[in-house]
């Protein structure tokens, strides 16, 4: 069963905080901010990632990751977001409908976790969607997917994008985090 596990928002940057319900409109999640003008577009109104992928990335890197830590608005389970294509639609209990528009590229704000995260997450950080039908979303809502007819797109991995030594990578990143907290919200640095 496909389900919405977490709704996440922030005034801008990461992490996004999990909330139980949210109003969704053409611009995205009510109260969610975007650090860059280029992110303020209806075709990138909502970002989604699979909980299963988030957990796999955490296991691979040794870095604990919770819903919202990678900046996604919706953390879903059982959907297979990485296999969706532009034009595929997601329908949520309660009436909200989204249409997948494009692959979500990793943003510079991930540097606050690790400078290596952009490379590790290339083609693995979910998708963007536009809002077809606004309304209220609630964590736990069931999701129905409708394929656009093009079939699944294979997941593309960049050679060398994995983390060969997850424990060493985690130790490096966690040491960096402890040494100097970083707030990544500068609108002057491009994603």
Residue 42 — φ and ψ, nearest 5°? -60, -25
Instruction: Show the tokens assigned to 181.
Output: 């907290």
Angle between helices 51-61 and 166-179 (to 10 degrees): 90
Residue 107 DSSP one-character state: P
Q: CA 56 to CA 50: how far, in whole Å?
A: 10
pLDDT for residue 132: 97
Is 70 within a domain?
Answer: yes
Q: Domain of residue 46: give its range.
A: 3-147+154-179
pLDDT for residue 170: 46
Convert the pLDDT of each residue in 142-151 to its tens digit: 999 998 875 4
pLDDT for residue 107: 72
Q: Is the pLDDT of residue 162 over 50?
A: no
Q: Is the pLDDT of residue 166 over 60?
A: no
89, 65 contact by CB (below 8 A): no
**CATH code, domain with 138:** 2.40.33.20
Is 55 within a domain?
Answer: yes
* Cα of 54 vs its chain's centroid, Å: 9
Q: Which residue has the higher pLDDT, 183 or 133?
A: 133
155, 110 contact by CB (below 8 A): no
Is 184 within a domain?
Answer: no
Q: Is the pLDDT of residue 91 over 70?
A: yes
Is 37 within a domain?
Answer: yes
- State how far the alpha carbon of 94 is from the alpha carbons of 28, 72, 115, 144, 159, in Å: 16, 21, 39, 12, 41
Q: Which residues pair with 17 in a beta bridge?
A: 9
Please name the residues in contact with 26: beta carbons below 8 A apart, sequence gap of 6 or more.
42, 45, 130, 131, 134
Q: CA 30 to CA 32: how far, in whole Å?
A: 6
Percent of the chain with pLDDT over 90: 42
Is 189 within a domain?
Answer: no
Is 103 within a domain?
Answer: yes
- Please tell me the total count of domains within the chain: 1
**Across residues 56-84, what is the average pLDDT?**
90
Local confidence band at 188 (pLDDT 50, 70, 90 cut-offs): very low
């Amino acid at each position: 069963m496909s389900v919405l596990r977490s709704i996440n928002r922030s005034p801008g940057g990461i992490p996004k905080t999990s909330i139980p319900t949210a109003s969704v409109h053409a611009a995205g999640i009510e109260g969610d901010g975007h650090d860059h003008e280029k992110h303020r577009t209806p075709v990138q109104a909502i970002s989604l990632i699979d909980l299963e992928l988030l957990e796999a990335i955490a296991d691979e890197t040794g870095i604990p990751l919770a819903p919202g830590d990678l900046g996604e608005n919706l953390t879903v389970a059982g959907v297979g977001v990485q296999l969706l294509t532009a034009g595929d639609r997601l329908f949520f209990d309660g009436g909200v409908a989204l249409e997948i528009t494009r692959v979500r590229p990793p943003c510079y704000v991930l540097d606050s976790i690790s400078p290596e995260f952009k490379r590790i997450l290339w083609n693995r950080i979910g998708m963007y969607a536009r809002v077809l039908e606004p309304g209220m979303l609630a964590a736990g809502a069931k999701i129905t997917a409708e394929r656009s007819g093009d079939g699944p797109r294979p997941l593309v991995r960049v050679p060398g994008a994995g983390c060969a030594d997850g424990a060493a990578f985690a130790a490096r990143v966690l040491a960096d985090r402890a040494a100097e907290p970083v707030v990544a919200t500068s609108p002057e640095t491009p994603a």
